[in-house]
Amino acid sequence: MWERQHHAWESPALLGRRMDVLVLGHAGTRVLVFPTSQGSYHDWEDRQMPDAVGDLLADGVVQFYCVGSADDLSWYNETIPVHQRAEWQARYDAYLRDEVLPLSASLNDDPMLMAAGASFGGYHALCFALRYPHLVSRALSMSGLPDIRRLTDGQSDELVYFYNPAEFSLHEHDETRLADLRRLDIIMAIGRDDRMCGANEEFSRALWDRGIGNALRIWDGWAHDWTYWQRMLQLYINGHD
């Protein structure tokens, strides 16, 4: 069995909201694990995702840092304007960057960091990895959403832009960031019948057009459920096949 730790604190970035982090494993590649939409830090554990790669966790090949979401404050909060939803996403981003990542570095000095998530967690994994390609080595989006405008009725502005992978990563002109993006191992896996499949195909092509390599793996059927994500995790956690 693998080591299990629980950490919690009131996040300054999220204005004192209590945030929990579940750490699974003792060493290896640090994996920033995002839950599904509005999910808890124990989302993956409840759905036996760690069991799918239990040998890697037990042997110190990977270590999971499972975070909770703030989707109820940001993109899923339809009671506030789109710009304010993006402001909350910016706070969540700061929580990850300035609070969770330092925790992971204090517990594990492995230089490799991966971001992984399924469904709306796939959006978060892509967003964080593409925003910080100098920090993240690999992104794994399973049945993910690459364009946040699907949740904003097509609206965007100067802040939404910077938290929408389908916008900021495709209009990047800074050569240093482009070089980092081109080093990033981007893996997107999705079912052929998933309604997000077309968006993933479009995003994959657009990245390639910018010289940003990526692996798009299209599975038969819908493939938008935990049993599929367990198998995807097994196949792609160490890179695309």
Taking each helix axis from N to C end, the angle separating 120-131 and 82-95, rounded to the nearest 10 degrees, works out to 70
Say how far apart CA 215 and CA 190 lie, in whole Å: 11
The domain segmentation of the chain, as residue ranges, is 4-236
How much of the chain exceeds pLDDT 90, in percent? 98
Give CATH superfamily name and number for 4-236.
Alpha/Beta hydrolase fold, catalytic domain (3.40.50.1820)
* pLDDT number for residue 237: 97
Q: How far apart are the first and last CA of the chain?
A: 27
Tens-digit pLDDT profile for residues 61-89? 999 999 999 999 999 999 999 999 999 99
Contact 71, 120 (CB under 8 A): yes
User: Do the Cβ atoms of 135 and 110 come closer than 8 Å?
Assistant: no
Q: Is the pLDDT of residue 240 over 80?
A: no
H-helix segments, the chain: 43-46, 49-52, 54-58, 82-95, 101-107, 120-131, 165-168, 175-183, 197-209, 226-236
Closest CA to 141 of 110, 175, 167, 117: 117
Identify the DSSP state of 239: -
User: 90-133, pLDDT tens digit by residue?
Assistant: 999 999 999 999 999 999 999 999 999 999 999 999 999 999 99
d(CA 231, CA 79): 37
Strand partners, 144: none
pLDDT-based confidence at 241, cuts 50/70/90? low
Per-residue model confidence as pLDDT tens digits over 37-68: 999 999 999 999 999 999 999 999 999 999 99
When pLDDT is averaged across residues 216-228 and rounded to a whole number, the result is 98
More confident residue, 173 or 240: 173
**Average pLDDT over every residue of 208-231:** 98
pLDDT, position 239: 86
